[in-house]
Amino acid sequence: MADKERQKQGLRTKKELPDELGRFGQFGGRFVPETLMSALEALEEAYREAQRDDDFQRRLATLLRDYAGRPTPLYYAAKLTEHCGGAKIFLKREDLAHTGAHKINNTLGQGLLAERMGKRRIVAETGAGQHGVATATVCAMLGLECIVYMGEEDIRRQSLNVFRMKLLGAEVRPVASGSQTLKDAINEAIRDWVTNVDSTHYLLGSVVGPHPYPMMVRDFQSVIGREARQQLLEATGRLPDYAIACVGGGSNAMGLFHPFVDSEVKLVGVEAAGVGLDTGKHAASLVAGSIGVLHGTKSYVLQDRAGQIRETHSISAGLDYPGVGPEHSYYKESGRASYVAVNDEEALEGFRLLCEKEGIIPALEPAHAIYYTTRLASQLSKEHIILVNLSGRGDKDLDIVAQTLGVHL
Amino acid sequence: MRRIESVFAKPAHKALIAYLTVGYPSIEATLELVPALVGSGCDMVELGIPFSDPLADGTTIQRASYRALQQGVTPESCLEVAQELRQKVDSPLIFMSYYNPLLHYGLEPFCCACAQVGIDGLIIPDLPPDEGMELERLTERYQLDLIYLLAPTSSEERIGLVAARSRGFIYLVSLSGVTGARDTLPAQLEGFVAKVRRITSQPLCVGFGISTPEQARRVAKVADGVILGSRIIEILESSDQPALAVGSFIKRIRDGMTPREAANGM
């Protein structure tokens, strides 16, 4: 299929997807226990009502501005551009949003929605802790009870964020089952939701899970791409050649990509290759996985020959997930976006470069995207523009980076 | 008549359905336990195919699934176990599996293999009828019953949907929650069963949380069948002679389900 034709398809599908069954082509859907079906139907209805409600939209816009600090800046990374010697690199500074990552865009939206539905108890999962912190933050502000499930392995490597959540009044429940990471935290959050479905909203943090989550989280995160599009037009008079973001579950990438789907902009998602794709110790569901059903949605997953979900590895807890949002799977299949993988060592190289060249300490998740961007930029001429989503700041990762470099703090 | 249907065709008989995780504590144990369950009064056995991410299950079945997976149990080996069990028992055998292992195996090859080894039905806790069209078509073709679930949170519309699409019986989840033995069942249980009963004449079997003869009696008064799972796994975890212990537990449950007058008359 010609690129043009694919992009036309992208244009056609943007407004229509997901369909009424929550599907993006063959992906998505609602693969959940019957107990949750009515709650998902009610959530979808409440969300669609809120979308049409001017008061809701105004309140969300005000909080995004006054509380989260939006719009976040678009920054021309002159020194990094110079270092690469090619395409101009622009960073969308989601690291400057309140709580230090893009996660707040979604937690504000869903927090307001939970309040609107009369659900005063919030459960959430977290990997790196960024979504947990953003959820605890919004719950504190709205006066909602907050319980965050977090794998014991992640609690060990993200102790600072655990402390932040507790300061914000959330209860952090350790998850000891399975690989003790994000996927197990999601299992446990879903079990809690099944048990307390009448009183509780599950504030899912990525574009994964059963319909309507992939659509709803995408919509709340699309503010990233809408702002960046306008900011880049103002700064350069044109759209970028590439939009690049890291992909774990894929919310920051979808938030950046979606407003560009109807354009000619090339979209590239960067997954975690961990120790290396050939070692099996990675988290690259789109690059190295196959189609399956995990956490209520049909998408690419990492699984073994018997259909068991595989344990994953990435230096970055936020990318350490064996599934990915169904809309990304759809983009991969339709060719609208391409997906690549960057390993732990390369991500650290991207991390170091941004520190040294720009004075910005990125989170390890977007460090994957930064690394890929520097490689791509150096192969392109100076007329090209790359827009990359700097989805979070790196304070939370200093321990693990120090450890990897053999530095004792 | 299909095997599952014939269980509910017995006049004034309440079905007793037991769940085991295949390969817990071992494949040999499963091969020994299923005949023991049937011999003690079970009408059907659910064979659980272990999955890495059992999000509808509480800690007991999570543990059993994890142990079984560590021993290398796969859908393939579950089919082999079923084939061997079919030589030993005539009762209906039902696979309980999350959707992904089946999808990965291939839905049609899996249904075909089930029919060949003598499996009678499938229960897929994360496959509501909204997503079940393809599997329904295949289970029909291979004469398997695809059993759907209903929960106390199901709307009348959803009860109608499940009633129209479920085959064999309808699995009523007694409470909003995951599997696992409970001290008490919800007060609304009878109301829930009656609500479904008004909409459908399909057999209704209740599971989740049932662990004592008293609870089984209460359920058997209103439903057509009682499903036991986690409590059986707990007994397996704690007993030196699992087949004996589980057998005597099932007998007590069966006695509990039998109406007093009939029991006295025997």
Q: What is the pLDDT of residues B213-232, one digit of tens each?
A: 999 999 999 999 999 999 99
Cβ <8 Å between B53 and A294? yes
Residue A408: its pLDDT value, please?
A: 87
- Residues B69 and A179: their CA atoms lie apart, in Å, by 14
- Best residue of B66, B130, B148 to probe chain A, by most A CBs closer than 10 Å: B130
Mean pLDDT across chain B: 96
Burial (Cβ within 10 Å: 0-12, 13-18, ≥19) of residue A383: exposed
Interface check B188 vs A, CB under 8 A: no
- Residues B48 and A87: their CA atoms lie apart, in Å, by 55
Element (H, E) at A99: none
Q: Which residues of B touch A198 (CB under 8 A)?
A: 153, 176
Checking if the pLDDT of B135 tops 70, the result is yes
Residue A15: its pLDDT value, please?
A: 54
Query: Domain B3-265, what fold?
Result: TIM Barrel (3.20.20)
The residues spanned by each domain of chain B are 3-265
- Residues A334 and A25: their CA atoms lie apart, in Å, by 9
What residues contact A303, with CB distance under 8 A and at least 6 apart? A289, A290, A292, A309, A310, A322, B100, B104
What residues contact B58, with CB distance under 8 A and at least 6 apart? A191, B177, B178, B179, B180, B230
CB B76 within 8 A of CB B258: no
> What are the respective helix, strand and coil percentages of chain A, to the nearest 5?
50, 20, 30
Largest CA distance in chain B: 52
Cβ <8 Å between B126 and A301? no
CA distance A370 to chain B (A): 33
Q: What is the pLDDT of residues B18-32, one digit of tens each?
A: 999 999 999 999 999
Residue A11: its pLDDT value, please?
A: 45
Interface check A195 vs B, CB under 8 A: yes
Residue B265: its pLDDT value, please?
A: 39
Does residue A391 have an active-site annotation?
yes
Q: What is the pLDDT of residues A349-393, one digit of tens each?
A: 999 999 999 999 999 999 999 999 999 999 999 999 999 999 999
- Residues B121 and B119: their CA atoms lie apart, in Å, by 6
CA distance A106 to chain B (A): 24
Cβ <8 Å between A35 and B153? yes
Residue A13: its pLDDT value, please?
A: 45
Phi-psi domain of A32 (left: phi exceeds 0; alpha: psi -120 through 50; beta: other) = beta
| Alpha carbon distances (Å) from B104 to A37, A307, A396, B249 | 24, 5, 37, 36
What residues contact A123, with CB distance under 8 A and at least 6 apart? A147, A148, A149, A189, A192, A193, A196, A200, A201, A202, A203
Enter the tokens of residue A389.
């989503």
Dihedral (Cα; A326, A329, A330, A334), 10-degree rounding: 180
Enter the tokens of residue A377.
């930029």
3-class DSSP state of A266: strand
3-class DSSP state of B217: helix
Q: What end-to-end distance do the CA atoms of chain A give, in Å?
A: 53
Interface check A20 vs B, CB under 8 A: no
Interface check A355 vs B, CB under 8 A: no
What residues contact A348, with CB distance under 8 A and at least 6 apart? A315, A364, A367, A401, A404
Residue A180: its pLDDT value, please?
A: 85
What residues contact A190, with CB distance under 8 A and at least 6 apart? A32, A36, A202, A295, A296, B55
Q: What is the ipTM of this complex?
A: 0.95
The mean pLDDT value for B251-260 works out to 88
Which of A37, A294, A303 is opposite residue B128, by nearest beta carbon?
A37
Angle at A12 (CA atoms; ends A11, A17), nearest 5 degrees: 105
Cβ <8 Å between A32 and B62? no
Query: From the candidates A44, A115, A125, A358, which is the catalytic residue?
Result: A125
Residue B261: its pLDDT value, please?
A: 52
Q: What is the pLDDT of residues B89-99, one digit of tens each?
A: 999 999 999 99
What residues contact B80, with CB distance under 8 A and at least 6 apart? B117
Sign, CA dihedral B184-B186-B187-B190, equals negative
Q: What end-to-end distance do the CA atoms of chain B give, in Å?
A: 30
The percentage of chain B sitting over the pLDDT mark of 70, rounded to a whole number, equals 97
Show the low-confidence residues of chain A (pLDDT under 70).
1-15
How big is chain B by its Cα radius of gyration, in Å? 17
CB contacts < 8 Å between A and B, how many?
Answer: 116
Side chain identity at B205, as an amino acid letter? C
- Residues A387 and B216: their CA atoms lie apart, in Å, by 62
- Residues A102 and A253: their CA atoms lie apart, in Å, by 10
- Residues A272 and A250: their CA atoms lie apart, in Å, by 12
Q: What is the pLDDT of residues B57-96, one digit of tens each?
A: 999 999 999 999 999 999 999 999 999 999 999 999 999 9
3-class DSSP state of A291: strand
Cβ <8 Å between B69 and A293? no
Confidence category of residue B106, pLDDT binned at 50, 70, 90: very high
Q: What are phi and psi of A31, to 5 degrees?
A: -100, 75
- Residues B199 and A383: their CA atoms lie apart, in Å, by 68
Q: What are phi and psi of A346, to 5 degrees?
A: -65, -35
Residue B260: its pLDDT value, please?
A: 60
Q: What are phi and psi of A328, to 5 degrees?
A: -65, -40
